[in-house]
């Protein structure tokens, strides 16, 4: 009897909690094998695009997850056309290395999902959305219960007070969110950096450094101890 072939996937890795939970669920799926993590970096700053997490911390995450990191180097500023050209190169690499799917940690924004599905059309890669439509309050509570530990690295001050930057993503954080703010920050209210998770072989030792406002966002610098 011929064995069913596994889906070999690369995971879009933001360095945050949703990516970590997506990896957990994918690893619990018997017919999926994770080949690599894909992270976009602002190559001028040496940090994760949007989250502003230091490059070396993402490499440490990949090491603890036991996976290769595929960095995507974005110039700054970066037009959508340049971004899409670079992501096409990633897709070509994925196909060349026997990857058959790209997974994303999106939760419920239909326009984002539609964009990702459109960009993968004709590439030979299937889009996967392992955390899609999970209720975000329950999801946040599940993450915390399962010892996903994260720092809040980026805040949109138009949606959330800057005092939330640098905090732990924990029960007190969720309960302190104003009404209308998604518990997982799916509308871009906040972003996180995961330093301990079930998908890591060991925790990371980190601390929160300077908090700065730049380009309309508030960033908390996270550093390795």
Residue of 53, 19, 31, 80 whose CA lies nearest to 9:
31
pLDDT digits (tens, 9 = 90+) for 80-119: 999 999 999 999 999 999 999 999 999 999 999 999 999 9
For residue 1, pLDDT over 50 is answered with no
Residue 50's pLDDT band (boundaries 50, 70, 90)? confident
Residue 102, phi then psi, degrees to nearest 5: -120, 130
Q: Which two tokens stand for residue 1?
A: 């009897």
pLDDT at 5: 79
User: Average pLDDT over the chain, rounded to whole?
Assistant: 96
Domains annotated for the chain, with CATH where assigned, are: 7-224 (3.40.50.620)
Query: Which tens digits make up the pLDDT trace of 178-189?
Result: 999 999 999 999
**pTM of the full structure:** 0.95
The neighbouring-strand residues paired with 214 are 217
Peptide bond before residue 199 is cis, with ω within 30 degrees of 0: no
For 6-32, write each residue's pLDDT tens digit. Answer: 899 999 999 999 999 999 999 999 999
185-207 average pLDDT score: 97
């Amino acid at each position: 009897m011929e064995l069913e072939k596994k889906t070999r996937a690369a995971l879009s890795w933001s360095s945050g909690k949703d990516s970590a939970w997506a990896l957990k669920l994918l690893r619990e799926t018997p017919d999926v094998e994770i080949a690599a993590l894909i992270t976009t970096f602002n190559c001028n700053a040496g940090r994760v695009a949007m989250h502003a997490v230091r490059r070396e911390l993402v490499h440490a995450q990949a090491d603890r997850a036991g996976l290769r990191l595929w960095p995507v180097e974005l110039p700054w500023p970066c037009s959508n056309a340049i971004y899409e050209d670079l992501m096409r190169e990633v897709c070509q690499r994925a196909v060349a290395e026997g990857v058959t799917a790209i997974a994303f940690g999106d939760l419920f924004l239909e326009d984002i999902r539609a964009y990702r599905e459109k960009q993968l059309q004709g590439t030979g890669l299937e889009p996967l959305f392992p955390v899609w439509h999970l209720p975000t309050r329950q999801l946040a509570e599940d993450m915390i219960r399962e010892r996903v530990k994260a720092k809040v690295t980026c805040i949109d001050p138009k949606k959330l007070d800057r005092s939330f930057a640098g905090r732990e993503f924990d029960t007190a954080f969720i309960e302190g969110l104003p009404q209308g703010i998604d518990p997982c920050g799916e509308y871009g209210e906040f972003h996180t950096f995961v330093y301990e998770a079930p998908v890591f072989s060991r925790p990371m030792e980190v601390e929160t450094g300077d908090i700065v406002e730049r380009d309309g966002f508030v960033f908390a610098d996270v550093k390795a101890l």
